[in-house]
C-alpha cells in the first residue's frame, strides 16, 4: 500500500459559521494546518478572531428565545435529521478525520455513526424534559421544579477526537434548548467544521449553532463574554485553571472534562488474552492520545512476568504507520513538539529506573517526516516517577506489580487524576469491591472503551474535572433548575 496524504480539495472551507452564514475566512490569524502523517502543511485557515466571537454570541443570543420555546418534538426531529445526515456521511468524514490529526481510518470509520447515535439518543430526550412537584409545609402552597436551558453555551474542544468530543456535549446542549457557540480546535478543525455545516443542512434555525474555528485567543474571548451563560470545556488541566480564573469575572459556570492517568488492574484470575488485548489498547486508542486511556498497568505479581511477556509480543504486532491504511492501528502523534515531549518522558522514565520492554526511536523510511512513535512499555516503574504520574498523551504504558488487592487499590488511587479505571478479574465479588474503592468517574470491569456510549455518564473526579457527558446526567449539565412556589 502506498503511503497516502490528505486531499486538500476534500476539506471543508468554512472556519466561521455565524447566524447561518457560511464564511470562508475569519477575522483572526492565518493558521497553517500540519498533517501529522507527513509533517507538511495541508491547508491555510483564516481563523476566527474576537469580532467573530462577538458576532457568533449575538447570533446565538438572538436565536435563543425561539429555540428554547420550540416544542421538544420539533427539536427532536431536527436532531434526528442531523443524525441521518451524519450516518449518510460517515464514510465521507473518514478522510477529514484522518487529515485533521492522524486518527487512523479504522477508528475514523465509526466516528460518523457514533456522532449519529448521540444525536439520536439526546434527540430522544428533547421531548421528555420533565419537571416535578415538591411537597410543601407551612402555608398551603403548590411548589414545582422546572428545568430550563442556560441560553447561550460556549463549547471549547481539544484536538484529539474533536468530533467525538463535540457531539458528546453539543447533542445534550441542543436537546436541552440552548444555543451554541462552538470553537473547533485549530490543530484539528475539519470534522467539527463539517459537523456545523451539516447542522445547517439539517435545517436548524440560523444562530442556533455558530462556529468559530480558532486558538486560545478565541477560547479566551468566549470565556470572557458576558452573554455566554455557561462554558463547556474539554481539554487539559493547565488550560482549565486559566479558564476557571478568567470565568471568575462573569461568574459563569464551567463544565470540565479533563485528562487522566487511568489505572488498569489485572488480577491473576483475569482472562489473560482479553486482559492483554485491552491493556494494550491504552497505548493504541486515539494513537495513545485518549483522555481515558488506561496507561498505568497494575499487575498481580504472580502473573507479572508472563503478562508483560505477552503484552510485549502483542505490542510488536501492532501495525504502526499510514493512518489512511485501514489495516493501521497506530498512527502519528499530533506534532513534533508532542513527539519530543513523549520521547523525553520515556527517556526520563528509563533514567528513573523503568525497564523498556518495547519501544524506541521514531519511525524512519517513508514515515521519517511524520510524527510516528512505536508503542513503549516501561516495566518496574515506581508509582512516584514522573512517567507514572503525568499524562503522557502518547503510545506509552507503565507497568507496576502488586501483591494484594489492598495494594492494587492504593496504587490505582495514588494519582491526582480520576477519570477512568479498568479492572480485570473473573471474581464478581472482587470486581464490585474494587470498583467501589476506585476514585474515578468511570470504572470498566473486563472492558476497555465499550462504556463510551451516549447513554452512559462519563466524566472525572479530582484533577480530571467534574460534570458528566452522556446519559440523563449529561443532559442535566445543560439545564438550570427553577423553583416556583405558589401560595394557595
Active site residues: 257, 291
Q: Does 189 bind ligand NAD (CB under 6 A)?
A: no
Q: Does 219 bind ligand NAD (CB under 6 A)?
A: yes
Q: Check: CB of residue 468 under 8 Å from CB of residue 459.
A: yes
Between residues 235 and 310, which has the closer beta carbon with respect to ligand NAD? Answer: 235
Stretch that binds ligand NAD, among 29-37, 211-219, 357-365, 370-378 (CB under 6 A): 211-219
Q: What is the CA radius of gyration of the chain?
A: 23
Q: From the CB of 283, what's the least distance to ligand NAD, in Å? A: 15
Q: Check: CB of residue 126 under 8 Å from CB of residue 72.
A: yes
- The count of residues interacting with ligand NAD (CB under 6 A) is 28
Residue with cell 403548590: 142
Site mask for ligand NAD (CB under 6 A), range 169-188, x = bound: --------------x-x---
Of 447, 460, 70, 478, the C-alpha closest to 281 is 447
Dist. CA 105–CA 198, nearest whole Å? 21
Q: From the CB of 262, what's the least distance to ligand NAD, in Å? A: 10
Q: What are phi and psi of 201, to 5 degrees?
A: -65, -30
Q: Does 56 bind ligand NAD (CB under 6 A)?
A: no
Q: From the CB of 334, what's the least distance to ligand NAD, in Å? A: 8
Between residues 16 and 223, which has the closer beta carbon with respect to ligand NAD? Answer: 223
Q: Does 234 bind ligand NAD (CB under 6 A)?
A: yes
Q: Does 216 bind ligand NAD (CB under 6 A)?
A: yes
3-class DSSP assignment, residue 156: strand
Q: Does 26 bind ligand NAD (CB under 6 A)?
A: no
Q: Does 165 bind ligand NAD (CB under 6 A)?
A: yes
CB neighbours of residue 359 within 10 Å: 21
Beta bridge partners of 149: 479
- Provide the grid cell at 200: 445547517
Q: Does 239 bind ligand NAD (CB under 6 A)?
A: yes
- Provide the grid cell at 60: 446565538
3-class DSSP assignment, residue 228: coil
Q: Does 223 bind ligand NAD (CB under 6 A)?
A: yes
Residues 129, 157, 166, 196: which binds ligand NAD (CB under 6 A)? 157
Q: From the CB of 292, what's the least distance to ligand NAD, in Å? A: 7
Q: Does 134 bind ligand NAD (CB under 6 A)?
A: no
Q: From the CB of 236, what's the least distance to ligand NAD, in Å? A: 3
Q: Check: CB of residue 361 under 8 Å from CB of residue 344.
A: no
- Provide the grid cell at 385: 516517577
Q: From the CB of 50, what's the least distance to ligand NAD, in Å? A: 12
Between residues 4 and 335, which has the closer beta carbon with respect to ligand NAD? Answer: 335
Dist. CA 7–CA 26, nearest whole Å? 22
Residue with cell 488498569: 264
Between residues 298 and 419, which has the closer beta carbon with respect to ligand NAD? Answer: 419
Q: From the CB of 309, what's the least distance to ligand NAD, in Å? A: 30
Q: Looking at residues 407 to 446 of the shown chain, list those that interact with ligand NAD (rule: CB under 6 A).
A: 419
Dist. CA 471–CA 456, nearest whole Å? 5
Of 180, 88, 116, the C-alpha closest to 454 is 116
Q: Does 245 bind ligand NAD (CB under 6 A)?
A: no
Residues 72, 124, 215, 272: which binds ligand NAD (CB under 6 A)? 215
Site mask for ligand NAD (CB under 6 A), range 92-131, x = bound: ----------------------------------------
Residues 49, 95, 123, 158: which binds ligand NAD (CB under 6 A)? 158
3-class DSSP assignment, residue 453: coil
Q: Which residues contact 385 (CB under 8 A, 6 or more apart)?
A: 349, 352, 353, 354, 398
Residues 212, 258, 373, 434: which binds ligand NAD (CB under 6 A)? 258
Which residue has the closest beta carbon to ligand NAD?
Answer: 219
Q: How far is CA 140 from CA 132, 319, 406, 485, 487, in A?
A: 18, 70, 54, 10, 6
In terms of DSSP H, where are the helices of 184-300?
A: 190-201, 216-224, 237-247, 272-284
- Provide the grid cell at 256: 470540565
Between residues 154 and 310, which has the closer beta carbon with respect to ligand NAD? Answer: 154
Residues that bind ligand NAD (CB under 6 A): 156-161, 165, 183, 185, 215-216, 219-220, 223, 234-236, 239, 242-243, 257-259, 291, 391, 393, 419, 460
Amino acid at each position: 500500500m502506498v503511503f497516502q496524504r490528505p486531499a486538500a480539495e476534500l476539506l471543508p472551507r468554512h472556519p466561521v459559521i455565524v447566524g447561518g452564514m457560511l464564511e470562508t475566512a475569519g477575522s483572526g490569524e492565518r493558521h497553517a494546518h500540519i498533517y501529522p502523517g507527513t509533517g507538511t502543511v495541508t491547508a491555510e485557515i483564516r481563523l476566527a478572531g474576537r469580532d467573530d466571537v462577538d458576532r457568533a454570541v449575538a447570533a446565538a443570543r438572538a436565536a435563543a428565545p425561539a429555540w428554547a420555546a420550540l416544542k421538544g418534538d420539533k427539536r427532536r426531529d431536527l436532531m434526528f435529521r442531523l443524525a441521518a445526515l451524519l450516518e449518510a456521511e460517515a464514510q465521507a468524514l473518514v478522510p477529514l478525520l484522518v487529515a485533521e490529526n492522524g486518527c487512523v481510518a479504522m477508528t475514523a470509520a465509526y466516528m460518523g455513526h457514533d456522532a449519529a447515535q448521540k444525536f439520536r439518543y439526546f434527540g430522544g430526550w428533547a421531548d421528555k424534559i420533565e419537571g416535578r412537584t415538591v411537597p410543601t409545609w407551612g402555608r398551603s402552597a403548590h411548589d414545582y421544579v422546572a428545568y430550563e436551558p442556560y441560553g447561550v453555551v460556549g463549547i471549547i474542544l481539544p484536538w484529539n477526537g474533536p468530533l467525538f468530543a463535540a457531539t458528546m456535549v453539543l447533542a445534550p446542549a441542543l436537546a436541552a434548548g440552548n444555543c451554541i457557540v462552538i470553537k473547533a480546535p485549530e490543530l484539528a478543525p475539519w470534522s467539527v467544521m463539517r459537523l456545523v455545516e451539516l447542522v445547517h443542512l439539517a435545517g436548524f434555525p440560523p444562530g442556533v449553532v455558530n462556529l468559530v474555528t480558532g486558538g486560545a485567543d478565541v477560547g479566551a474571548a468566549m470565556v470572557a463574554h458576558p452573554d455566554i451563560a455557561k462554558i463547556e470545556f474539554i481539554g487539559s488541566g493547565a488550560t482549565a485553571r486559566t479558564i476557571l480564573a478568567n470565568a471568575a469575572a462573569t461568574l459563569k459556570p464551567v463544565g470540565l472534562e479533563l485528562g487522566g492517568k487511568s489505572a488498569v488492574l489485572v488480577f491473576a484470575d483475569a482472562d489473560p488474552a482479553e486482559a492483554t488485548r485491552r491493556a494494550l489498547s491504552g497505548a493504541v486508542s486515539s494513537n495513545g492520545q485518549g483522555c481515558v486511556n488506561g496507561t498505568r498497568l497494575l499487575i498481580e505479581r504472580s502473573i507479572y512476568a508472563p503478562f508483560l511477556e505477552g503484552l510485549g509480543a502483542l505490542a510488536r504486532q501492532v501495525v504502526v504507520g499510514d493512518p489512511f491504511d485501514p489495516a493501521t492501528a497506530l498512527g502519528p502523534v499530533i506534532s513534533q513538539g508532542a513527539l519530543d515531549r513523549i520521547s523525553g518522558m520515556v527517556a526520563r522514565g528509563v533514567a528513573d529506573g523503568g525497564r523498556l520492554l518495547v519501544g524506541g526511536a521514531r519511525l524512519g523510511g517513508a514515515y521519517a517526516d511524520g510524527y510516528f512513535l512505536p508503542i513503549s512499555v516501561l516495566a518496574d516503574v515506581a508509582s512516584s516517577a514522573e512517567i507514572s504520574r503525568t499524562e503522557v498523551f502518547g503510545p506509552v504504558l507503565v507497568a507496576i506489580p502488586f501483591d494484594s488487592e489492598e495494594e492494587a487499590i492504593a496504587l490505582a488511587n495514588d494519582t491526582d487524576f480520576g477519570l477512568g479505571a479498568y479492572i480485570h478479574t473473573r471474581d464478581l465479588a472482587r470486581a464490585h469491591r474494587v470498583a467501589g474503592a476506585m476514585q474515578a468517574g468511570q470504572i470498566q470491569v473486563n472492558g476497555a472503551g465499550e462504556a463510551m456510549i451516549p447513554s452512559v455518564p462519563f466524566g472525572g473526579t479530582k484533577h480530571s474535572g467534574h460534570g458528566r457527558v452522556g446519559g440523563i446526567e449529561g443532559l442535566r449539565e445543560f439545564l438550570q433548575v427553577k423553583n416556583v412556589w405558589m401560595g394557595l
